[in-house]
Chains A and B, each alone.
Chain A
Amino acid sequence: MAALSEEVLLVVKRVRQRKQDGTLYLMTERIAWGPEGKDRFTVSHLYADIRCQKISPDGKSKIQLQLVLHTGESTTFHFANESTALKDRDAAKDLLQQLLPKFKKKANKQLEEKNKMLQEDPVLFQLYKDLVVSQVISAEEFWASRLKLSSVEHSLSNNSKQEVGISAAFLADIRPQTDGCNGLKYNLTSDIIESIFKTYPAVKQKYAENVPHNLTEKEFWTRFFQSHYFHRDRINTGQQDIFSECAKQDEKGLKSMVVQGVKNPMVDLLSLEDKTLDEGYGSLTVGPNSSKTVKENSNSAIIKRFNHHSAMVLAAGLRKVILVYWKFNKFYPELNLLFMNRDAPSDQASETSSTDGNSRDSDFFQPPIKKVKLQEAIEYEDLQNGSGPKTIALNLKKSDRYSHGPVPLQSHHYSTSQDIINSVSCIQEEISCYKPCLTRVMPSSAASSAITALSPGGLLMQAGTQQAVSQLVPTDVQSELKHLYTAAGELLRHFWSCFPVNTPFLEEKVVKMRSNLERFQSTKLRPFQEKIQREYLSTNLTSHLDEMIQAAYNKFHAWQTRRMARKT
Chain B
Amino acid sequence: MASEDEVSLLVIVVDVNPIWWGQQAQREPEFNLSKCLDAVMVMANSHLVMTRTNKLAIIASHCQESHFLYPNKHWKAGDVAGDEVSSGSGDGKYELLSVANDLVAEEIRNLMARTQVKGHQTDTLLAGSLAKALCYIHRVSKELEAGQDMKSRILVVKAAEDCALQYMNFMNVIFAAQKQNILIDACVLDSDSGLLQQACDITGGLYLKIPQKTALAQYLLWVFLPDADQRSQLVLPPSVHVDYRAACFCHRNLIEIGYVCSVCLSIFCNFSPICTTCETAFKIPLPQMMKPKKKKLKTAN
Contact = CB atoms under 8 A, between A and B. Distances in A.
Interface string B7-32: 00000000000111111011000001
Interface stretch (B164-172, B177-185, B291-299): B164-172
B25 A426 contact: yes
A276 interface: no
A424 B19 contact: yes
A410 B161 CA distance: 10
A434 B34 contact: yes
B159 to A, nearest CB: 12
| Max count, chain B CB within 10 A of own CB: residue among A409, A415, A423, A463 | A423
B263 A394 contact: yes
Contact of B26 (A395, A426, A436, A456): A426
B92 interface: no
Contact of A449 (B104, B215, B237, B246): B215
Contacts of B108: 431, 434
A397 interface: yes
Interface stretch (B131-139, B148-156, B276-284): B276-284
Interface string A75-100: 00000000000000000000000000
A450 B22 contact: no
A420 B19 contact: yes
Contact of B45 (A398, A438, A453): A438
Given A409-B252, A424-B115, A437-B38, A430 B25 contact: yes
B122 interface: yes
Contact of B252 (A407, A413, A460): A407
Contacts of B39: 441-442
Given A407-B167, A450-B215, A431 B195 contact: no
Given A394-B263, A456-B235, A423 B21 contact: yes
Max chain B CB contacts within 10 Å: which of A403, A407, A409? Answer: A407
Interface string A439-481: 0011100110111011010011101100000000000000000
B260 to A, nearest CB: 13
Interface in B32-57: 32-35, 37-39, 41-42, 45
A567 B193 CA distance: 60
A398 B274 CA distance: 14
B101 A436 contact: yes
Given A396-B277, A436-B105, A427 B22 contact: yes
A424 B171 CA distance: 30
Interface string B95-125: 0000001001100110011010101001000
Interface stretch (B76-84, B216-224, B225-233): B216-224
A432 interface: yes
A563 interface: no
A441 B238 contact: no
Contacts of A434: 34, 37, 105, 108-109
Given A395-B278, A421-B117, A446-B215, A438 B167 contact: no
Contact of A450 (B105, B219, B266): B219
B168 A446 contact: no
Contacts of B109: 431-432, 434
B176 to A, nearest CB: 17
B278 A432 contact: no
A417 interface: yes
A435 B279 contact: no
A405 B113 contact: no
A285 interface: no
Nearest to A439: B91
A282 to B, nearest CB: 44
A interface SS class:
helix
Contacts of A446: 212, 214-215, 218
Contacts of A417: 119
Contacts of B37: 434, 436
Contacts of B165: 403-404
Contacts of B187: none
A428 interface: yes
Given A428-B113, A432-B109, A395 B279 contact: yes
A430 B33 contact: yes
B264 A436 contact: no
B25 A427 contact: yes
Contacts of A406: 167, 194, 245-247, 254
A360 interface: no
B208 interface: yes
Most chain B CB within 10 A, of A398, A417, A436, is at A436
Contacts of A436: 37-38, 41, 101, 104-105
Given A405-B167, A427-B112, A431-B34, A441 B217 contact: yes
B218 A427 contact: no
A560 to B, nearest CB: 20
B34 A438 contact: no
Given A421-B117, A423-B19, A427-B25, A404 B208 contact: no
Nearest to A500: B287
Given A441-B217, A442-B215, A396 B264 contact: yes
A441 B38 contact: yes
B249 interface: yes
A423 B19 CA distance: 5
Among B105, B119, B212, chain A packs the most CB atoms within 10 A around the CB of: B212
A456 B235 CA distance: 8
Contacts of A420: 19, 117, 119, 122
Given A407-B194, A428-B113, A431-B112, A423 B22 contact: yes
5 contacts: A424-B18, A430-B34, A451-B222, A454-B219, A454-B236
Given A423-B21, A454-B237, A463-B238, 10 more contacts: A405-B167, A407-B247, A423-B22, A430-B32, A431-B113, A432-B113, A446-B214, A449-B215, A453-B211, A460-B211
Interface of A: 394-399, 401-410, 413, 415, 417, 419-428, 430-432, 434-438, 441-443, 446-447, 449-451, 453-454, 456, 459-461, 463-464
Interface of B: 18-23, 25-26, 32-35, 37-39, 41-42, 45, 101, 104-105, 108-109, 112-113, 115, 117, 119, 122, 161-162, 164-165, 167-168, 170-171, 194-195, 208, 210-212, 214-219, 222-223, 235-238, 245-247, 249, 252-254, 263-264, 266, 276-279
